[in-house]
Amino acid sequence: ARGNLGVNLHHRRGQHPVTQLETFEPDGRAIPYVDHQSDGPVLVLLSERGADAGGLGTLTSILVDVGFRVVRIGFRAAADEVAVDDLAQDVLDVIEHVGIGDTWMGGHASGGTVARTLALAHPDRVNGVLLLGVEDVQIPVAHNMPVLVVQGSEDETTPPANGLKLQDSAPGLVSVTTFDGAGHFFPATHAGQTAEIIEEYLDWD
């Protein structure tokens, strides 16, 4: 599918039913998620804090159309008051609930921070990390874990310098693509380009 995303969308569109937002409540924690089921490779996407699992909807739709199974996971209520390790446990609980063994995992901004935390704590469950904008946090790249960073050059919330800093910390593992002129919400404004980068990086035909 390299360089041919539009053709794939044309041929595969409409094969996937509309999927509803669900809530998983382990130990009373209400975690919203949407599971777009498919026989293709699995990608877990985590919304930014303040957005529910309906965030990243356009990007998800494109990825589902080209064959990915995408599980979007939001944050429980009052997530700003919850430690990132506990939010990572929420994600692990959801992927176990829907029957995923190991997966690529990514997120937008703070969602990516949770993905990085989970990858470091449970590298056997994460094949690689996708970061849509990088928060400046002290979380090392997990051992031998590939990381794809996609970011906007005009993002003031997760500035591109953060992605380059992460790449410098693990140059053999972290790849960075920057959209010139794009802001913080590039996963929506540049959804097609973002999906194509993900598709090509994961080498999905």
Q: Is 37 left (phi over 0), alpha (psi -120 to 50) or beta?
A: beta
Percent of the chain residues past pLDDT 70, beyond the cut: 88
Q: pLDDT band at residue 9, thresholds of 50, 70 and 90?
A: very low
Tell me: pLDDT of 204 over 60: no
Phi, psi of 75 (to 5 degrees): -105, 150
- pLDDT of 6 reads 35
Average pLDDT on 9-14 reads 40
Taking Cα atoms as reference points, which of 172, 173, 179 lies closest to residue 196? 179
Cα–Cα distance between 102 and 78 in angstroms, integer?
28
What digits encode the pLDDT tens for the residues 69-91? 999 999 988 888 899 999 999 99
Number of Cβ within a 10 Å radius of residue 124: 7
Cα–Cα distance between 160 and 48 in angstroms, integer?
17
Looking at the DSSP bridge assignments, the partners of residue 31 are 24
Taking Cα atoms as reference points, which of 83, 85, 88 lies closest to residue 31? 88
Strands 69-73 and 126-132: unpaired
What's CA 20's distance to the chain center, in Å?
Answer: 19
- pLDDT of 39 reads 84
Q: pLDDT band at residue 14, thresholds of 50, 70 and 90?
A: very low
